[in-house]
Amino acid sequence: MATENKNLSVYDKATIPNAKEFRFGIVVSEWNPEITEGLFEGSYKALLDCGGLKENIIRWNVPGSFELIHGSKKLITTQKVDAVIAIGSVIQGETKHFDFVCSATAQGIKDLNVLHDTPIIFCVLTDNNLQQAKDRSGGKHGNKGVEAAIAAVKMAALGK
């Protein structure tokens, strides 16, 4: 696994731009809330730790990971944000639904990044089981939400 020997929550704050002047959007899937809420908390706290202001962080919820695409698009076209974090969790089941949702969500977020100037950070866990998702949303591998927040700050700074 790519995260096997990496803690997703570790970053060197000295290398991160100050986020005080940036506005962030966080779009959160309501599917698998045990996982997505952990990812949100990681993102939110990391943004604050890097100087982000509470009033400059907008959270929108969407039903599932597939809907992150539309939620992110609406957020960047109706709100003045410097970066968006799209948070979701898709866990392998017994059907091919997992493959279709993961692929479409990744492609949709990629398409938005190509078509728009506002960076959208892909923070969608695509795990084989619930334990893997827990391990990456605040468990033994840290929190992918933290990693996504750091990417959002860096990309927002790149846009300035």
| DSSP state, residue 100 | H
Place 141 in a pLDDT band, splitting at 50, 70 and 90. very high
Task: Say yes or no to pLDDT of 116 above 60.
Answer: yes
- Is the CB of residue 117 less than 8 Å from the CB of residue 78? no
- pLDDT at position 3 is 56
Residue 125 C-beta-side C-alpha neighbours within 13 Å: 37
> What confidence category does residue 151 fall into, taking pLDDT thresholds of 50, 70 and 90?
very high
Name the pTM for this structure: 0.95
Residue 93 pLDDT > 90: no
E strands, 6-97, in order: 24-29, 57-62, 83-91
- β-sheet bridge partners, residue 127: 91
What positions carry a catalytic annotation? 97
Q: Per-residue pLDDT for 2 more than 70? A: no
Q: What is the per-residue burial (b if ≥16 Cβ within 10 Å, else e) of 2-21?
A: eeeeeebbebeeeebeebee
* Residue with the larger pLDDT of the pair 34 and 1: 34
E strand intervals along 100-159: 120-127, 137-139, 142-143
Quote the pLDDT of residue 1. 46
pLDDT (tens digit, 9 = 90+) per residue, 5-58?
Answer: 679 899 999 999 999 999 999 999 999 999 999 999 999 999 999 999 999 999
**Structural domains of the chain, ranges and CATH numbers in brackets:** 32-159 (3.40.50.960)
For residue 107, give the nearest of 72, 157, 76, 74 by alpha carbon: 72
Percent of the chain with pLDDT over 90: 91
| pLDDT surpassing 80 at residue 145 | yes
| Helices 68-78/97-115 angle, 10° precision | 20
Overall average pLDDT of the 106-125 stretch: 98
